[in-house]
Chains A and B, each alone.
Chain A
Amino acid sequence: NAGVTQTPKFQVLKTGQSMTLQCAQDMNHEYMSWYRQDPGMGLRLIHYSVGAGITDQGEVPNGYNVSRSTTEDFPLRLLSAAPSQTSVYFCASSYSRQGGNEQFFGPGTRLTVL
């Protein structure tokens, strides 16, 4: 199993540009989520999905869109990048939203918005 994979590893954008961060998992997990990690703020939940076709907002959803057309993939779209979105983005997955399921994280995407 490859686990949770993310592409790209690094990205530099200019303010106003859009892009999609890719996330995929091969563990047949129903629950997938996106976090951003910032110094002094820790990891914060952006969006999550409990299955194909179902997504919902986390703590900091503004400026981001998600979709879940398959169980495996959960892309995160930045609509119009802003410097405040400079961060490290992690995708995570687990079998379900609730219960004692272990969550697995991808290697992260390091995004800089100029």
Chain B
Amino acid sequence: KQEVTQIPAALSVPEGENLVLNCSFTDSAIYNLQWFRQDPGKGLTSLLLIQSSQREQTSGRLNASLDKSSGRSTLYIAASQPGDSATYLCAVRDGSSNTGKLIFGQGTTLQVKP
């Protein structure tokens, strides 16, 4: 059974710092991995999608990597800003399931202090 774990659960950094959020999954049979951002009381905003055949994707100050063989992904945020404060969720689309569902980690809650 696919399981997704995110470490750390919470992170507090000063503004301007570069940071890395970690995501691990137990089964390498995935279609893709998606990183989301969720602000308190809001929905999920898709940040980056990495296909199973890709190694990384970049969008602005965000860079996500994928190592399928080791079951790991990282989300790198450069020059963090207070506006980056949110919960970040990673999710894999399980290749062994025919439901199409995403399997989510519990999230990392990020606070960027001015």
Contact = CB atoms under 8 A, between A and B. Distances in A.
B99 A90 contact: no
B31 A107 contact: no
A13 interface: no
B43 A50 contact: no
B100 interface: yes
Interface in A13-51: 31, 33, 42-43, 45, 48, 50
A53 interface: no
A103 B46 contact: yes
Interface stretch (B14-22, B67-75, B76-84, B101-109): B101-109
B43 A105 contact: yes
Contacts of B104: 42-43
Contacts of A42: 104-107
Contacts of A108: 42-43
Given A45-B99, A108-B42, 9 more contacts: A33-B101, A42-B106, A42-B107, A48-B99, A56-B99, A90-B43, A100-B93, A102-B34, A103-B102
